């Protein structure tokens, strides 16, 4: 498809992206109420779908390739480069270990849940190409351990179809909301659970203080400073592209694997783009280059992700949308596995229930929702929720790639 033909479509998708980004930031009024019922990511996906099916957006791979090969890697570099590593060192030992047990529960729990369901419905374990159920489930894993970046990354690496991706997204929204409701409700029933976990009647919160204070560094952000950061970002992106091209070509030449092989992802450029974008972004985070004007860079990175979601939605046929109830059943089994691992970790550490709740939401929901769950137990735990959520973003793509390999191993 000619790039000139696609330009109006790109402009329309950009307009939808800006609109959803702007409206979802509203803290009151109509949009605040709207997004309590419809998650922004779902609206961002459906509006381009409707626009495409009405003929306002061109169908084809040009927009998808633009978003996946250029915009997604840039956003991953940017969002990981603004992470503040020293904050991660403040995590309590109990909270960190329980959180990591929860991560392991997601990584191995999904494949186990799929295998158990497959004992009753073997069809779900058969290969159906880009419609293979495991390809949709790994998108859910991506969302749970690394939010939207993980969701999009796993779709690209493991090649879920557009319709299967939306099915996964619908199941993910339902499961996440049910799970967060359960964690918030658990505040009321935590005391008997804590007595079993810790052997103590009461949990002492008196030593906790809310240490999360916004410390603004007063630095004059000149146009030259922004220019330097953009140059560095461009150079790192070029390094990511060159490294990804080299690795994908090397493994394609050396391995020559078919799509069904558990290590076929090594031949995909998308895998290396995501891996190197995350890794080089973490290296950049050690330089503190993007710490000044952090709100601007965060907003820019998130807006890029929004455009990627919109571009994916633009390639979907409305007639292909369906809700796969097997995903909900597998998801429930998966969450129970996740909870089991969390409880084992908490029992070993004699850690109270709030570490389970915060560690779980940090994995599944990310920094924002983890801080909400943490604050529902005690305001002094808010910073722990945020830091663990950030840690989930750091390890997310690495953990998700392992999860995808396990899903593929169980299926084939």
* pLDDT single digits (tens) 361-384: 888 876 656 766 877 787 667 667
CA–chain centroid gap for 226, Å, is 27
User: Collapsing DSSP states into helix, strand and coil, what is residue 407?
Assistant: helix
* pLDDT single digits (tens) 120-133: 988 888 877 778 88
Sign (positive or negative) of CA dihedral 5, 10, 11, 12: positive
Residue 63: CB atoms within 10 Å: 25
Residues 189, 297: Cα–Cα separation, whole Å: 40
Residue of 207 and 189 predicted with greater confidence:
189
State both tokens at 134: 């495991």
* pLDDT single digits (tens) 94-147: 888 999 999 999 999 999 999 999 889 888 888 777 788 888 888 898 888 877
* pLDDT single digits (tens) 215-262: 444 445 567 777 888 888 889 889 988 888 888 788 777 766 555 454
- pTM to 2 decimal places: 0.65
């Amino acid at each position: 498809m000619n790039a000139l033909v696609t330009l109006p479509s790109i402009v329309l998708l950009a307009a939808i992206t800006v609109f959803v980004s702007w409206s979802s930031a509203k803290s009151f009024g109509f949009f605040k109420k709207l997004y309590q019922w419809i998650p922004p990511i779902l609206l961002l996906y459906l509006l381009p779908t409707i626009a495409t099916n009405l003929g306002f957006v061109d169908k084809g791979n040009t927009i998808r390739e633009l978003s996946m090969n250029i915009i997604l890697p840039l956003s991953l570099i940017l969002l990981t480069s603004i992470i503040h590593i020293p904050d991660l060192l403040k995590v309590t030992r109990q909270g960190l270990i329980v959180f990591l047990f929860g991560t392991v529960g997601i990584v191995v729990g999904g494949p186990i849940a799929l295998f158990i369901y497959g004992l009753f419905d073997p069809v779900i374990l058969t290969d159906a190409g880009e419609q293979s159920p495991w390809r949709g489930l790994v998108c859910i894993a991506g969302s749970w351990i690394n939010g939207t970046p993980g969701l999009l990354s796993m779709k690209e690496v493991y090649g879920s179809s557009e319709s299967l991706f939306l099915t996964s997204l619908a199941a993910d929204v339902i499961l996440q909301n049910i799970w967060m409701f359960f964690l918030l409700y658990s505040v009321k029933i935590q005391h008997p659970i804590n007595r079993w976990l810790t052997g103590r009647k009461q949990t002492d919160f008196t030593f906790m203080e809310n240490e999360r204070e916004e410390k603004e560094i007063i630095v004059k952000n000149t146009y030259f400073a922004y220019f330097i950061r953009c140059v560095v970002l461009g150079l790192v992106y070029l390094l990511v592209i060159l490294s990804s091209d080299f690795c994908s070509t090397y493994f394609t030449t050396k391995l020559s694997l078919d799509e069904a092989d558990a290590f076929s992802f090594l031949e995909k450029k998308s895998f290396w783009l995501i891996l190197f974008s995350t890794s080089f972004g973490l290296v950049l985070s050690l330089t503190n280059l993007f710490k000044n004007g952090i709100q601007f860079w965060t907003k820019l990175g998130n807006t890029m992700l929004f455009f990627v979601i919109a571009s994916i939605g633009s390639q979907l046929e409305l007639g292909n949308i369906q809700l796969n109830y097997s995903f909900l059943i597998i998801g429930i089994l998966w969450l129970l596995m996740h909870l089991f691992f969390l409880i084992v970790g908490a029992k070993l550490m004699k850690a109270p229930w709030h570490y389970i709740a915060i560690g779980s939401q940090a994995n599944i929901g990310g920094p924002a929702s983890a801080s909400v769950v943490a604050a529902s137990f005690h305001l002094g735990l808010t910073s722990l929720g945020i830091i663990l959520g950030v840690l989930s973003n750091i390890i997310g793509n690495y953990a998700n790639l392992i999860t995808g390999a396990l899903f593929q191993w169980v299926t084939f």
